[in-house]
Structure 1
Amino acid sequence: MRDPAHVGTGIPSLAVFRDPASVAVVGASANPAKWGYWLARGALAGRGRRSVHLVTRGADEILGTATAPSLKDLPEVPELVAVCVPAAQVGPVVDEALRLGVRGLLGITAGVPDAGALAARITAGGARLIGPGSLGLFDARTSLHIAWGDFPAGGLAVISQSGQVGSEIALLARRAGVGISRFVSVGSQLDVTTADLLEDLADHPSTRAVALYAEGFEDGRRIFEAVRLLKRAGKPVLVLAAGASEAGARAARSHTSALTSSMELVDAACRAAGALRVPTAAALVDVAACLMARVPVRGRRVAVLSDSGGQGALAADTAHGRGLTVPRLSPRLAAEVAGLLPATAATDNPVDLAGAGELDLMSYRDVTHALLQSAEVDSVLLSGYFGRYGLDSAPLAGPEQQAAAELAELPHRHGRALVVHSMGPDSDTAAVLRDAGVPVFPTVETALDALSGAAELRARPGRRIPRAAGNGVLPGGYWETRATLVRAGIAFPEARQIRDHRDLAAALAELRGPYVLKASWLEHKTDVGGVRIGLFGAEAVTTAFTAMHRRLGEGTYIIEEQDVRPHVVELILGGRTDAGLGPMVMIGAGGTEAELHRDTVTECAPVSPRQARAMIRRLRCAPLLTGWRGAPPADLKALVRAVVTVSQLIAGCQDGAAELEINPLRVGPEGALAVDALLLSTPGPSGHRAQEAP
């Protein structure tokens, strides 16, 4: 039976890829080594729900089903057509499908000639296209299977910009006992995009979590809006992304760009949307296993239960390293646990069974029960030998599996998660646990990575990114940038513009030393000798100006009062607009060694004061701001205001393409003072940008 929502109402734009009434595979094959065979095999598995047609000139019958030589020879117009023919034949097949009124096309073939024009014809014809170059799609709920490979049904949706990576995720998920609700390989995205497919999952009934693999975020803002939609629908998103290279930093014209890698921007977008980026396909599946558990992880407090003191200690250390807490058990709970174990057992957390498992396998159940029913932990990590008893001693297989079945009931009874690291991860006992919704891992590191990731994902509510009003900020030299920031509320030292010795004399009469001399039009003044600091008295300033003017030539120079306040911390504060992901704000350890320290935090802009404070706290250098080694604390309120201001400025840039940097921002007990700044436009196709001419 088809989805009632699709009957009699006209199929919505992407519903044809969910539950079509009829499917045709063009390029079907009887050869199991060919794509056309797998597409036909999968499509035919859904004949109980829809009509399936196979189109080929190579065989009269495939898998017991009669074929037709072309789409026009079919007894009906199929709603969805999978195209798996040589690249040169794709165009004619698609044109025939459009003439017949086909509503959905799945393009498997890659390297299609003039694919852009083909996609335009499809759109103009009122149809939709996934691909070309797609590995296929699968929907467990509607028995739609037009893809290479097998997908056991479950709750994880996979949307992948690489068919092979998506297939790997699905394969790893199967081994971990995690089933697939929907699988789509997006291919070239000439029509249907990653964002479209994510949005389409928001009301997908069987999807509980989403795995996204992306190789680029040109449409990043819309992708992460879709991720927010999924988060609100109770479907957390795990992101696997490619492109964590430093290539973009090589050509960076500001420290802000050089210090914010592509993955840091993706991480910021994930945090803002309530998603989590993971480093590998295996890590994604591990976290997904915790999300798919019968009772998912809900917090960071972990009780470690092991049958080895060494393994328990290692697990506790690993947990701390993953940002989890292993709290000491209360005297009452420790005494309860002690009553279940030998006198030599450790009961503070981690808990060591001290051989009790060998005496009675149900001791695993009893201690886990005591820990899970308490309100002192959010989850229990069972680490060690459990799962291997039956492998090493056949008489223990049955009792161990019974203990596993009873263990698996405890999370549901108490509403807290159980995660297992087993030395027998492929045993029948482990299968009992997985089948009952308890994730099992082969190493304690993977178990705790997964537990930590699931807890982090739950703790990320996401946030709405407000659209800032255009502020008219335009690129310019230091003086123009400084004026823009002063108007926005960022404080600078007193300064004057000068072009000659007469201007210099007038400026010295109004300013207090020591002084700083700058060539205002240069982007990185220190690198080319365009700045001199620590100039005391008129003679020193005049000598420095004469030498700098002779070397750098005509232009507007700046004479500025030098900030000599004690107990000052130098930071870098900047923002940039990423073409795909939008405006970002960054704060970090600053000064001329900013790129050496690489101590930065980046978030989507604009940020609120609360979010700015959280950014500051995450810096490794944050203790310097709160009174390090007896120094007075810095004015954090002033710093927070500066972060918020810069985030609003970069978010409101009218052309949507700019980089803004204050380096250093000197923060001390008396406030925050910017002593150099840079505002750039992102180069257009010609590489042109506005700046003050020397």
Structure 2
Amino acid sequence: MIFSDPASVAVVGASDDPAKWGHWLARGALTGHERRAVHLVNRGGGAVLGRPTVRSLSELDEAPELVVLAVPAAHVPAVVDEALAVGVRGFVGITAGIDDRVIRRIREAGARLLGPNCLGVFDAATSLHLAWGRFQAGSLGVVSQSGQVGLEIAGLAASSGIGVSRFVSVGNQADVTAAEALLELVSHDLTTVVGVYLESFGPGIVAAMSELREAGKPVVLLTVGSSVAAQEAARTHTGALTSSLDVVDAACRKAGALRVPTPASLVDLAAVLTSGVPRGRRVGVVSDSGGQGAIAADLAVANGLQVPSLSVVDGLPAGASKRNPIDLAGAGEQDMANYARAVEVLVRGGEVDAVVLSGYFGSYGEDTPSLEALEVAVAGQICALARRSGVTVVVHSMRDDSAAVRALRAGGVPVQHTIERAVASVGHASRLSGSSPEVATRAATTGPFHPGYLAARELLSFVDFPQAHAVTTTADVEATTLKGPFALKADWLAHKSEHDAVRTNVTNPAAAFEEMRARLGPGTYVLEEMDTREHTVELIIGARHDDSFGPVVLVGAGGVHAELFRDTVVELAPVTPATARDMLGRLVSAPLLEGWRGAPAPDVAALAEVIAQVSQTLAARPDLAEIELNPVRVGPDGVLAVDALVVSGITSAGPALSATVRSEPAVRTAHVSSDPAAGPSEIRSAHPTSF
């Protein structure tokens, strides 16, 4: 409860100057003075905001539970030492550039630090306001790595009418992590939806988002392409074929969260989700303009929604169209109650999961003040219909603010000023309908890791490979009982094509062996029967350990052109066969797996089993960095992998090259003032992750 409802707080660096952080933090802290003791500390003494100050924490009779550090970095070590000496247990580190030794002292003392380089914390439930800016109380929980992005989200939430329940700027996450901040929202009663902005992802994020979803609190994630997952130094195609957002999106699917591209889209979506998740993708459109209704219908389809035909349309005004979208054809202007009647027809008909009302509604009272009361009353009826039916209702109004717009938002019906934002928010929200992330087992393979193709075949015993054996001499080759044509490979090389270390369609294996050994030197080679089946499709199946999210599995178009086509799908591992089949269905090349142009359909069920087992194996084997099967040839009679690579998780140089590399954001040096109540630019450096 230190960072959500402390019994007492102290703002160190409190100031009477409105341009300084210490002023904003002191003013915010004092809003909760009836709930907790608030102490203002300024080494010059005097009064701040009409309240007496103390020159140091040691002058207080009792140790404050939470201390806000709003002094220049040079003064922080002395403040922290004094605070720990008197028994302080929590710190909010507004200041940037706090020395690692100071952070270590806080941890060693058993205290906690939020930040440093953060914007602060706000909690509407406990009147806690220790952050720059103003917040409107509401239902959106915000956890942000960037203080300024978080503040923008909070401002947009206020404008949209949903407000903020709790705001946590985690800054550099030197101690308190974003995952911890998210977990605190699971039991936070005011929070119904959670918005998150992160630039890097650490352990526990997926689990925290999953817990929030299970608690009925959907998570909306905003990120950029520079997360830790983007730092690829891959040895195999498996890593090279993924991007940062591929893995982030897979994490969202695993956790039942949604990713959006902008702060505005985050708040738009959160506004819809505060009223609940749409039951499905069917949407009904109502407008008093045929053109606006048609535009809304087109956008709905473009956003993955369905605009079904209607069979239950009794109750519409005379002249209104009885198809979807419903065009009131001027009936709304004649009687505004017809807007509510049309919405009622849709929500009670049971044929749609969401309703989009588009057009002029919300503007009548502004243009004709005598109509304002009636319009507000109709808005109330629409809100009541949405609440009683459980059908999601979203309004696009040509007014961005009016009495009716405010009434709709207050009643739980989101309103957007553009139709594209209104429809996009419904489309995003519908992706959660009926989704229930599956839980897959972790089926471990046994045996130690050994390098090479033959060892990989042995380790991955659940995969079928062509008949093969090791050869080291020409005599070994000549003694083979395998049936040609053959493939000949250098066992020890990872990327054989790049080293010209593989020959296919070999009819004279002895000659091919002698030529290859002359170029590559002595060693173990593999003579293998070629897979000559017809109607096969080549794919790549890979799995690796991502530094941010753990094991991931990839499937895509395979063979030597895998990097050319880059047709891949990624999920967090382990996956079930059902999820594996879904992955296959999302490939651009998926039609090839359905029997393209009359060809017999490949055995997709067997292929899905292999994908699942590869994912489960890597998830159960932390000693393995990567597994790759490429190509995997699947035909009507089953699956054969004709090359395999397993990479150890430990090398002499440290972690395997395929693991993602953590890249800490650059910190720019800021000018440090000697004034302990310095202004914003002096307290917090221009760090790229924060305000």
Identify the residue that residue 89 of structure 1 maps to in structure 2: 75
C-alpha distance in 1 between matches for 2:641 and 2:287: 54
Does residue 355 of structure 1 match 2:330? yes
Tell me: CA distance 1:108–1:618, structure 2 relative to 1, closer, same or farther (3 Å): same
Identify the residue that residue 477 of structure 2 maps to in structure 1: 504
Report matched runs for 1:14-413 at 5 Å.
Answer: 15-58=1-44, 60-113=46-99, 115=100, 117-219=101-203, 222-244=204-226, 251-293=233-275, 296-330=277-311, 333-334=312-313, 336=314, 339-342=316-319, 345-413=320-388
Answer with 550-559 or 390-399: which moved more: 390-399
Could you tell me whether the CA contact under 8 Å between 1:134 and 1:185 is conserved in 2?
yes
Helix, strand or coil: the match of 1:68? coil
Give the C-alpha shift of residue 59 in structure 1.
Answer: 5.2
More contact order relative to length (CA 8 Å, sep ≥ 6)? 2
Q: Deviations over 1:456-493 (max 9, x none)?
A: 234332344655547445251212112222x2x20111
Candidates 608, 620, 632, aligned match of 1:665: 632
Identity %: 53
Identify the residue that residue 10 of structure 1 maps to in structure 2: none
Tell me: CA distance 1:665–1:172, structure 2 relative to 1, closer, same or farther (3 Å): same
* Residue identity matched to 2:640: L
Tell me: CA distance 1:69–1:370, structure 2 relative to 1, closer, same or farther (3 Å): same
* Residue identity matched to 1:512: K
Does residue 573 of structure 1 match 2:555? no
C-alpha distance in 1 between matches for 2:490 and 2:649: 22
Could you tell me whether the CA contact under 8 Å between 1:473 and 1:654 is conserved in 2?
no
Tell me: CA distance 1:475–1:199, structure 2 relative to 1, closer, same or farther (3 Å): farther
Helix, strand or coil: the match of 1:16? coil
Could you tell me whether the CA contact under 8 Å between 1:681 and 1:690 is conserved in 2?
no
Identify the residue that residue 669 of structure 2 maps to in structure 1: none
* Residue identity matched to 2:40: L
Q: Deviations over 1:480-531 (max 9, x none)?
A: 112222x2x2011111222232222122xx1112222222222222233222
C-alpha distance in 2 between matches for 1:348 and 1:42: 53
Identify the residue that residue 594 of structure 1 maps to in structure 2: 562
Could you tell me whether the CA contact under 8 Å between 1:389 and 1:397 is conserved in 2?
yes
Does residue 607 of structure 1 match 2:580? no
Could you tell me whether the CA contact under 8 Å between 1:249 and 1:258 is conserved in 2?
no
Helix, strand or coil: the match of 2:387? helix
Q: Deviations over 1:602-635 (max 9, x none)?
A: 2222222222222222222222212222111111
Helix, strand or coil: the match of 2:6? coil
Could you tell me whether the CA contact under 8 Å between 1:240 and 1:284 is conserved in 2?
yes
Could you tell me whether the CA contact under 8 Å between 1:516 and 1:531 is conserved in 2?
yes
* Residue identity matched to 1:566: E
Helix, strand or coil: the match of 2:431? helix
Could you tell me whether the CA contact under 8 Å between 1:297 and 1:416 is conserved in 2?
yes
* Residue identity matched to 1:288: A
C-alpha distance in 2 between matches for 1:25 and 1:246: 34
Does residue 495 of structure 1 match 2:468? yes
Give the C-alpha shift of residue 67 in structure 1.
Answer: 1.0
Answer with 72-81 or 156-165: which moved more: 72-81
Helix, strand or coil: the match of 2:2? helix
Could you tell me whether the CA contact under 8 Å between 1:496 and 1:558 is conserved in 2?
yes
Helix, strand or coil: the match of 1:304? strand
Does residue 434 of structure 1 match 2:409? yes
Identify the residue that residue 679 of structure 2 maps to in structure 1: none
Could you tell me whether the CA contact under 8 Å between 1:29 and 1:58 is conserved in 2?
no
Helix, strand or coil: the match of 1:459? coil
Could you tell me whether the CA contact under 8 Å between 1:680 and 1:690 is conserved in 2?
no
Identify the residue that residue 7 of structure 1 maps to in structure 2: none
Identify the residue that residue 605 of structure 2 maps to in structure 1: 637
Tell me: CA distance 1:468–1:181, structure 2 relative to 1, closer, same or farther (3 Å): farther
Q: Deviations over 1:324-356 (max 9, x none)?
A: 1111111xx13x15x4141xx432211112222
Give the C-alpha shift of residue 120 in structure 1.
Answer: 2.4
C-alpha distance in 2 between matches for 1:659 and 1:260: 14
Helix, strand or coil: the match of 1:516? strand
Answer with 83-92 or 446-455: which moved more: 446-455
Could you tell me whether the CA contact under 8 Å between 2:632 and 2:640 is conserved in 1?
yes
Using the size of structure 2 for normalisation, the TM-score is 0.91
Give the C-alpha shift of residue 38 in structure 1.
Answer: 0.5
Could you tell me whether the CA contact under 8 Å between 2:443 and 2:613 is conserved in 1?
no
Could you tell me whether the CA contact under 8 Å between 2:603 and 2:639 is conserved in 1?
yes
* Residue identity matched to 1:669: P
Could you tell me whether the CA contact under 8 Å between 2:234 and 2:657 is conserved in 1?
no
Using the size of structure 1 for normalisation, the TM-score is 0.90
Identify the residue that residue 421 of structure 1 maps to in structure 2: 396
Candidates 473, 476, 495, aligned match of 1:524: 495
Q: Deviations over 1:140-179 (max 9, x none)?
A: 0000000001111111111111111211111111111111
Give the C-alpha shift of residue 579 in structure 1.
Answer: 2.2
Give the C-alpha shift of residue 682 in structure 1.
Answer: 4.6
C-alpha distance in 2 between matches for 1:685 and 1:521: 17
C-alpha distance in 2 between matches for 1:141 and 1:558: 68
C-alpha distance in 1 between matches for 2:479 and 2:181: 65
C-alpha distance in 2 between matches for 1:566 and 1:620: 22
C-alpha distance in 2 between matches for 1:273 and 1:672: 31
* Residue identity matched to 2:484: G
Tell me: CA distance 1:544–1:690, structure 2 relative to 1, closer, same or farther (3 Å): farther
Identify the residue that residue 550 of structure 1 maps to in structure 2: 518
Helix, strand or coil: the match of 1:593? helix
* Residue identity matched to 2:148: Q
Give the C-alpha shift of residue 668 in structure 1.
Answer: 0.5
Identify the residue that residue 478 of structure 1 maps to in structure 2: 453
Could you tell me whether the CA contact under 8 Å between 1:160 and 1:212 is conserved in 2?
yes
Helix, strand or coil: the match of 2:422? helix
C-alpha distance in 1 between matches for 2:228 and 2:243: 7
Gaps of 5+ in 1: 1-14
C-alpha distance in 2 between matches for 1:172 and 1:89: 35
Give the C-alpha shift of residue 643 in structure 1.
Answer: 1.1
Could you tell me whether the CA contact under 8 Å between 1:275 and 1:460 is conserved in 2?
no
Candidates 616, 623, 627, aligned match of 2:584: 616
C-alpha distance in 2 between matches for 1:228 and 1:690: 30
C-alpha distance in 1 between matches for 2:66 and 2:488: 70
Give the C-alpha shift of residue 684 in structure 1.
Answer: 5.3
Gaps of 5+ in 2: 659-691
Identify the residue that residue 680 of structure 1 maps to in structure 2: 647
Answer with 33-42 or 543-552: which moved more: 543-552
C-alpha distance in 1 between matches for 2:192 and 2:447: 44
Tell me: CA distance 1:199–1:60, structure 2 relative to 1, closer, same or farther (3 Å): same
Count of aligned positions = 658
Tell me: CA distance 1:413–1:652, structure 2 relative to 1, closer, same or farther (3 Å): closer
Helix, strand or coil: the match of 2:479? helix
Could you tell me whether the CA contact under 8 Å between 2:281 and 2:430 is conserved in 1?
yes
Candidates 421, 442, 446, aligned match of 2:421: 446
Identify the residue that residue 666 of structure 2 maps to in structure 1: none
C-alpha distance in 2 between matches for 1:577 and 1:475: 18
C-alpha distance in 2 between matches for 1:685 and 1:517: 30
Could you tell me whether the CA contact under 8 Å between 2:200 and 2:227 is conserved in 1?
no
Could you tell me whether the CA contact under 8 Å between 1:131 and 1:191 is conserved in 2?
yes
Could you tell me whether the CA contact under 8 Å between 1:471 and 1:652 is conserved in 2?
no
* Residue identity matched to 2:37: S
